[in-house]
């Protein structure tokens, strides 16, 4: 502990794990549960949207979303998320974490419902309104990233802080899993109630009129988990670190945390603490920030950017795996509702076997072996498996090798989640000063979403077959899946190298790792 550490902050750092820690994890985690459900459930219904709104009479294959709509529906939420991360990250440092925390949740709830109510008299209007509401849904989701991470880091003790922040993020896994399970249940119920022939048997009757309700229900249900925690989110007090170090109200910080910890916390400051937080006047764009944290911000932003290129591009070969193992038969052999069921089952199995376990391995080990080791290990193993998939790619495409292909794919997902997908979320919430913590986390997260946009869409085009006659409908030729996987392997390797810019925060107080208690050698006016 620094010699001039505030009593209230020290009390938080050494507090034993108790009920309020788990309450905070649930309250913040439900936001992430909703984030993941809303972001990933769209992939469950895009095939259905194509069948419902873009059927081509006389075609041998069911209708599919045109590339412009497919890209827009998926991409607009990512763009909204990027914007929300920057805006709410900045706002969380200016107004306080709690003041804007409820706003992001309500925005997510309202836009989840509105997405399902997307209206219009023709397919184009329905798609445009859906894209509009999904942008604002993403905007709310983006705000939840820096605010939830910062709130959890500032509530936690230093011994188990990494596990608590990672547990909030791990709720994403349950959100993905729940989206798949709910889609399975709703599609099975509709298929049982409204049986229909396959597309090859009857192209028109294979898509029942009630299919339009299925995708709308799946999207709207995402609002329920977050809505149930709104009241508790509003009851949470402002974090002591914001109140004491940014708002400069140590009396209020002590009172708030005294209620939370169920103990009396001394209000007086030790000698010299009246200067704490008052001499640190440099801003985000100052030379002092660049000297102290410039490389740290470069490290957190670049590693998140590189990770998300690889992580979001994994859907490139997802369809190869699902088809190879027979999880998803040919589209024409199913009706519209059955196709939703098969896609949801496949996503649920992947989430259950690799995504969720990977997250919780991080939760259990991050405070034992540290953030740095987990991130290095994750990037290293992702690199290995990407190259192992890429170099003998033709070998894996043969039916007799499909089990190995699935295992490689699952392990790549596992080490993304037991690795940089979790640690890139945790570290930016720990290593920056309190008054810039939410902003810097938002910048790092926004860099990640920029990588996600490149991964989800740039590589969608890049991975197209080099032969123009074998590309997906509406896409130009690319470099092929094999070469794309090699590029992704190199990207993971770069992520490993940039990890060396990020300091280890295990076992240290937030003020110690951010050097917030140090006297300034030079004072520089704040720019922001």
Q: What is the pLDDT of residue 187?
A: 95
- Three-class SS of residue 249? coil
- The predicted structure's pLDDT at residue 7: 74
Q: Please tell me the total number of residues recorded for the chain in this structure.
A: 528
Asked if 32 contacts 148 with a C-beta cutoff of 8 angstroms, the reply is: yes
Q: Which alpha helices (DSSP H) does 391-523 contain, by range?
A: 393-396, 402-417, 420-426, 434-453, 459-462, 480-498, 510-514
Q: Give yes or no for a contact between 288 and 525, defined as CB atoms under 8 angstroms apart.
A: no
The rounded distance, in Å, linking the Cα atoms of 236 and 232 is: 6
Cβ-contact 504, 371 below 8 angstroms: yes
User: Alpha-carbon distance 428 to 426, whole Å?
Assistant: 6
* Distance between CA atoms of residues 459 and 140, nearest Å: 26
Low-confidence ranges of the chain (pLDDT < 50): 1-3, 270-278, 280, 519-528
Instruction: Looking at 15-122, list the stretches that DSSP marks H as alpha helix, in order from N- to C-terminal side.
Output: 19-40, 42-53, 67-95, 97-116
Whether the Cβ atoms of residue 431 and residue 514 lie closer than 8 Å to each other: yes
Residue-range domains of the chain with CATH = 17-516 (1.20.1250.20)
Report pLDDT for 518. 62
CA distance 243 to 255: 11
Tokens of 428: 């930016």
Cα 224 from chain centroid (whole Å) = 19
pLDDT at 276: 47
- First and final C-alpha spacing in the chain: 29
Instruction: Check residue 59 and give its pLDDT.
Output: 85
| Backbone torsions φ then ψ of 318, nearest 5 degrees | -65, -45
The Cα 336–Cα 334 span in angstroms is 7
Residue 14: the pLDDT is 80
Residue 272: the pLDDT is 45
- Looking at residue 367, what is its pLDDT? 93
């Amino acid at each position: 502990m620094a010699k001039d550490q505030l009593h209230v902050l020290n009390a938080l750092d050494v507090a034993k794990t108790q009920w309020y820690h788990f309450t905070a994890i649930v309250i913040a985690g439900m936001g992430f549960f909703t984030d993941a459900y809303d972001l990933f459930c769209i992939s469950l219904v895009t095939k259905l949207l194509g069948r419902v709104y873009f059927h081509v009479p006389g075609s041998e294959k069911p209708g599919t979303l045109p590339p412009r709509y497919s890209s827009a529906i998926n991409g607009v939420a990512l763009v909204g998320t990027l914007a929300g991360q920057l805006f709410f990250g900045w706002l969380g440092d200016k107004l306080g974490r709690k003041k804007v925390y409820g706003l992001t949740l309500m925005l997510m709830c309202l836009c989840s419902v509105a997405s399902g109510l997307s209206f219009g008299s023709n397919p184009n209007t329905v798609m445009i309104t859906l894209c509009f509401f999904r942008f604002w849904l993403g905007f709310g989701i983006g705000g939840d990233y820096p605010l939830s991470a910062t709130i959890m880091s500032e509530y936690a003790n230093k011994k188990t802080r990494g596990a608590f922040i990672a547990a909030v993020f791990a709720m994403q896994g349950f959100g993905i899993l729940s989206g798949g399970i709910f889609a399975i249940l709703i599609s099975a119920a509709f298929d049982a109630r409204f049986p229909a022939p396959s597309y090859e048997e009857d192209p028109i009757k294979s898509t029942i009129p009630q299919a339009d309700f299925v995708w709308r229900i799946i999207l709207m249900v995402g609002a329920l988990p977050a809505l149930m925690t709104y009241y508790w989110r509003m009851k949470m007090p402002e974090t002591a670190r914001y109140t004491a170090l940014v708002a400069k109200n140590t009396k209020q910080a002590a009172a708030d945390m005294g209620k939370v910890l169920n103990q009396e916390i001394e209000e007086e400051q030790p000698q010299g603490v009246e200067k704490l937080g008052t001499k640190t006047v440099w801003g985000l764009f100052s030379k002092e920030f660049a000297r102290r944290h410039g490389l740290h911000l470069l490290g957190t932003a670049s590693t998140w950017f590189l990770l998300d290129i690889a992580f979001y591009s994994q859907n490139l070969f997802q369809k190869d795996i699902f088809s190879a193992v027979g999880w998803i038969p040919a589209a024409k052999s199913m009706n519209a509702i059955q196709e939703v069921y098969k896609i949801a089952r496949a996503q649920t199995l992947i989430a259950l076997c690799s995504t969720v376990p990977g997250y919780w391995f991080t939760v259990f080990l991050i405070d034992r072996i540290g953030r740095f080791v987990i991130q290095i290990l994750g990037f290293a193993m992702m690199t290995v498996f990407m190259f192992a998939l890429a170099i003998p790619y033709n070998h894996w495409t043969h039916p007799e090798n499909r089990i190995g292909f699935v295992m490689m794919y699952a392990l790549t997902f596992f080490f993304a989640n037991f690795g940089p997908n979790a640690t890139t979320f945790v570290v930016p919430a720990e290593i920056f000063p309190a008054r810039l913590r939410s902003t810097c986390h938002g910048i790092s997260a926004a860099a990640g979403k920029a990588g996600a946009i490149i991964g989800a869409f740039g590589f969608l085009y890049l991975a197209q077959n080099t032969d123009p006659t074998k590309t997906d409908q509406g896409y130009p030729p690319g470099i092929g899946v094999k070469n794309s996987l090699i590029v992704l392997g190199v990207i993971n390797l770069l992520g490993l190298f940039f990890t060396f810019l990020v300091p280890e925060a295990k076992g240290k107080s937030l003020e110690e790792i951010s050097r917030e208690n140090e006297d300034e050698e030079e004072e520089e006016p704040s720019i922001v």
